[in-house]
Amino acid sequence: MEASLREPSYRRAPDEPDLDLYTIPSHSSWFSWDDIHETEKLALKEFFDGSSISRTPRIYKEYRDFIINKYREEPSSRLTFTEIRKSLVGDVNLLHKVFAFLETWGLINFGATSDDDDLAEVEDGESSVIKIEEGVPNGIRVGAMPNSVKPISAPPVVEDSVIVNGSGFKLPPLTSYSDVFGDLLKQKILVCGNCGQLCGSRYHQCAKDDYSICENCFKDGKYGEKRLLEDFELKTTEFTEDRSSTGAVWTEAETLLLLESVLKHGDDWELVAQNVQTKTKLDCILKFVELPFGDSLLCSETQRNEVSGPNNNVTSEKETTDGPPETTEAPPNKQEIAGSEDQCTKDINEDEDGENQGPPKRQCTASIQDTSSSLMKQVALISSMVGPQIMAAASTASVTALCDENSYPKEIFDDQNFFVTNGLCSAASTTSNHEVERILNNEDSVAKERPQSGDIMAEDKDDIALILRVRAAIATALGAAAAHAKLLADQEEREMEYLLGIMIETQMKKMQRKIKHFEDLELIMETEYPVIEELEDELLMERVSVLQSAFDLGIPRWKDYPSVRS
């Protein structure tokens, strides 16, 4: 309904600021300061029929401009006819007509006219109190005040609310946003920055700032402006049981308590967790792993056991022979369950459990196995990548190298060698892996068991063999890695050769093209050469004929010659 016109006020109204925004009805959009529209000519014919000196288009325009400017000096109040007629020279009736015309079209008193009429009529009818109207109440006005920023600033405000509420809009990157809502986000009740709903227990927080979005928004990919998927990390609030958001935050007291309880209880995380109280078992483990010295603490524990190991070895020398038969039994089982390593290790555990009567310690060995198995997994991966034959070769090589180092454990590896040579090629790698694992398992279980169980003799039966086996396993892994590296290098080399070949070929093609091009050019030259020769001949002939004709005409030679020549 309303149309805003941006009207330069020109010199007509010097007291008016430039480029004010006025609201006039859209049906009056024909209005222009510089022109008189047909509508005006039609409605106020008397100014345009040249009937009188007092009624000319110029005078009309002056009337009109003055009235409109007068109104716009104070658009909030209603302009009355009586007000303008004192300032304008001319027939009051004519002035009234112009005034009424402008008012009808909303160029003045827009938005207030009808209400005011009603009001005035009511007043006339009822009240006898004489009252001078000072324009309409401000609330009635529909049109905008020229200087007010409301119409300009209003849209952004609306937009803002839309942005906050609507899910389709993105938040504008206002710096003040985080200032304003930052505290809100930090509070327990988290509001999604995108959809404005409560985030619930799980939400994603942007690593850069405090901007958080709820899970739904995260899934939908609404990350907000300038935020990428990678920036967000999943956070959970305290309402969840398994993992608390405060789990990331460990107080110093808590950490100390954790360390103490680890030292006291070792790897029994349940006891540790009970000791720490405020944190769950998983939290404790994670925190312990995160600690820079966590590994070394555990290692030192195992090493301490290892160091203590050899002392007992003297007595258990003969029992080392008991170890190998055990290992020979294990592989067939494992081959059946090839693939899932966890199960393998469980098997091993079961085997061990059969030996070691330490039920309360079962879990701790299992957890250690978990951490150590990651290395084994890598080895297995490498070996599977390399291929069974190479793996087998690597393991044999490492074993022979070890055997060269010290001769006596040769017989220990005899069984293993038997396996490598005898067993299926495909199984060889896994066998070796499992062997290594087994070795480690044994070692761990031994290490853990020792401080508690009194039956030392039984545990240390194959202590020396274990150390050797560990070394063998490491050597195997290294060998496999080396083999794999060699393989990769070979592949790279081939790739490089191939690429080089392609490059040379392309260069050759390029050269050939160039040669062909030059050949073409030569051909063109050759064809053009006779043409030019012909032209030369022709020119020569012409010159001769011109000279001839000059002689015939009898023009002196000395006069004509240079001109011809040139």
Partner 1 sequence: MKASASPHSKAPFKFRIPTAENLVPIRLDIEIDGQRFKDAFTWNPSDPDSEVVVFAKRTVKDLKLPPAFITQIAQSIQSQLTEFRSFEGQDMYTGEKIIPIKLDLRVNNTLIKDQFLWDLNNYESDPEEFSRTLCKDLGIDDPEVGPAIAVAIREQLYEIAVQNVASARESRMSKKGRRGFEHVPVSKTGGASVDLVKLFGHRSSVVRKRKDWDIYEPIVDLLSNEEVDALEAKEERTAR
- Binding positions for partner 1, rule: CB under 8 A: 51-54, 56, 58-59, 62-63, 66, 80-83, 85-94, 96-97, 120, 123-124, 127-133
Give min distance, CB of 62 to partner 1, in A.
5
Between 10 and 293, CB nearer to partner 1: 10
Instruction: Please tell me whether residue 180 adopts helix, strand or coil conformation.
Output: helix
Between 52 and 421, CB nearer to partner 1: 52
Give min distance, CB of 26 to partner 1, in A.
27
Instruction: Please tell me whether residue 375 adopts helix, strand or coil conformation.
Output: helix
As given in the structure block, the two tokens for residue 62 are 């002056």
Give min distance, CB of 93 to partner 1, in A.
4
What DSSP element (H or E) covers 121?
helix 113-126
As given in the structure block, the two tokens for residue 288 are 């312990």
Between 44 and 475, CB nearer to partner 1: 44
As given in the structure block, the two tokens for residue 556 are 């002196």
Strand runs labelled E in 150-222: 202-206, 212-214
Between 97 and 202, CB nearer to partner 1: 97
Instruction: Please tell me whether residue 137 adopts helix, strand or coil conformation.
Output: coil
Between 97 and 170, CB nearer to partner 1: 97
Burial 386-404 (b: 16+ CB within 10 A, else e): bbbebbbbbbbebbeebbe
As given in the structure block, the two tokens for residue 503 are 């490059």
State the residue for tokens 């209400």.
115
Between 133 and 342, CB nearer to partner 1: 133
Cα angle for residues 103, 108, 110 (degrees, 5° grid) = 85
| Contact in structure between 94 and 74 (CB atoms under 8 Å) | no
Between 129 and 180, CB nearer to partner 1: 129
Give min distance, CB of 111 to partner 1, in A.
18
Spatial CB neighbours of 302, under 8 Å, sequence gap ≥ 6: 443, 444, 447
Please tell me the distance from the alpha carbon of residue 319 to that of residue 307, in angstroms, as a whole number: 19
Give min distance, CB of 85 to partner 1, in A.
6
Phi, psi of 42 (to 5 degrees): -75, -40
Q: What is the Cα gyration radius of the chain?
A: 50
Cα angle for residues 24, 29, 33 (degrees, 5° grid) = 90
Between 67 and 386, CB nearer to partner 1: 67
Give min distance, CB of 120 to partner 1, in A.
5
Between 54 and 303, CB nearer to partner 1: 54
Cα angle for residues 245, 251, 254 (degrees, 5° grid) = 100
Give min distance, CB of 18 to partner 1, in A.
21
Between 119 and 145, CB nearer to partner 1: 119
Please tell me the distance from the alpha carbon of residue 395 to that of residue 389, in angstroms, as a whole number: 10
Give min distance, CB of 5 to partner 1, in A.
23
Between 42 and 132, CB nearer to partner 1: 132
Find how far residue 301's CA is from the centre of its chain: 43
Give min distance, CB of 86 to partner 1, in A.
4
Spatial CB neighbours of 324, under 8 Å, sequence gap ≥ 6: 412, 415, 462, 465
| Burial of 61 (C-beta count, 10 Å sphere; 0-12/13-18/19+) | middle
Q: At what angle do helices 294-313 and 425-452 cross, to 10 degrees?
A: 90
Three-class SS string for 267-313?
A: CCHHHHHHHHCCCCHHHHHHHHHHCCCHHHHHHHHHHHHHHHHHHHH
Please tell me the distance from the alpha carbon of residue 318 to that of residue 312, in angstroms, as a whole number: 12
CA end-to-end span of the chain: 85
Give min distance, CB of 45 to partner 1, in A.
11
| Contact in structure between 386 and 483 (CB atoms under 8 Å) | yes
Between 6 and 58, CB nearer to partner 1: 58
State the residue for tokens 């720490």.
276
Give min distance, CB of 180 to partner 1, in A.
49
Between 51 and 165, CB nearer to partner 1: 51
Spatial CB neighbours of 273, under 8 Å, sequence gap ≥ 6: 279, 280, 281, 283, 284
Give min distance, CB of 48 to partner 1, in A.
14
Give min distance, CB of 49 to partner 1, in A.
9
- Residue 20, strand partner residues: 7
Cα angle for residues 199, 203, 209 (degrees, 5° grid) = 105
Give min distance, CB of 31 to partner 1, in A.
20
Between 37 and 96, CB nearer to partner 1: 96
